[in-house]
């Protein structure tokens, strides 16, 4: 009679000490900044207002598509007042290819009107004022402040940053604002603008949602998720 052999218990990975996590995090940032030495948004803009509009358009849309649309859009609409008095039906068609064009048109026009009425047509330079504008949440506000003004207000958390934060062990949260808080606690303030940007760039080029390129990843040796996906290996 052959005795059945009980399955081996999976070995639990030792928990990471705060010091080890700090060193690993610093190493990841260093490597990503080596990969992207001058990190910046892929959105094309000439001033903070254009960046604000482009970021609103980028929701559920690629930056490449947004750049194609804004190339002509910003020639026609040069200031908040221009968008505020735009023809709704015309603007909807002009931004249609970015998706969710009706809601985006509504937000862009309302945001522009608020800038005219409450801020003299200027984009405010505080996150508290920015998030009060229609269609502007913390992600958009952080993009505008960080990339448009060079103001460190927080960390941009989009789908790429959210995904990589979980894979890299930076956060276990599902809520983007909680992920942002975790990143702000983990990284020194001087790195808040860059960490969001390099994670976005790395997410687009290497650490994709479905097929991360673990063998080609510059931070694979520091990533607790490396090799856990089809085709990936440490």
Q: Which residues are catalytic?
A: 139, 158
Q: Which tokens sit at 58?
A: 């980028």
Integer CA distances (angstroms), 151 to 84, 121, 127, 134, 146, in order: 26, 20, 10, 21, 5
Q: Are 155 and 184 in contact (CB under 8 A)?
A: yes
Integer CA distances (angstroms), 7 to 2, 12, 110, 233, in order: 15, 15, 62, 25
How many angstroms separate the first and last alpha carbons of the chain?
41
d(CA 108, CA 131): 14
């Amino acid at each position: 009679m052959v005795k059945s052999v009980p399955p081996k218990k999976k070995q639990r990975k030792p928990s990471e000490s705060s010091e080890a996590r700090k060193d690993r995090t610093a190493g990841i940032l260093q490597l990503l900044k080596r990969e992207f030495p001058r990190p910046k948004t892929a959105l094309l803009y000439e001033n903070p207002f254009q960046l604000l509009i482009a970021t609103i358009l980028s929701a559920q849309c690629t930056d490449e598509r947004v750049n194609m649309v804004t190339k002509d859009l910003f020639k026609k609409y040069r200031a908040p007042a221009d968008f505020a008095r735009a023809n709704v039906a015309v603007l909807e068609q002009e931004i249609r290819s970015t998706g969710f064009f009706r809601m985006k048109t509504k937000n862009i026009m309302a945001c522009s009107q608020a800038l005219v009425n409450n801020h003299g047509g200027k984009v405010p330079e505080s996150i508290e004022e920015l998030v009060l504008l229609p269609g502007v949440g913390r992600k958009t506000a952080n993009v505008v402040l960080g990339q448009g003004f060079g103001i460190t207000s927080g960390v941009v958390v989009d789908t790429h940053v959210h995904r990589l934060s979980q894979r890299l062990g930076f956060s276990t949260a599902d809520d983007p604002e909680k992920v942002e808080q975790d990143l702000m606690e983990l990284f020194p303030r001087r790195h808040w603008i860059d960490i969001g940007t390099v994670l976005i760039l790395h997410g687009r080029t290497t650490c994709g949602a479905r097929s991360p390129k673990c063998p080609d990843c510059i931070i694979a040796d520091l990533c607790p998720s490396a090799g856990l996906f089809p085709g990936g290996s440490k």
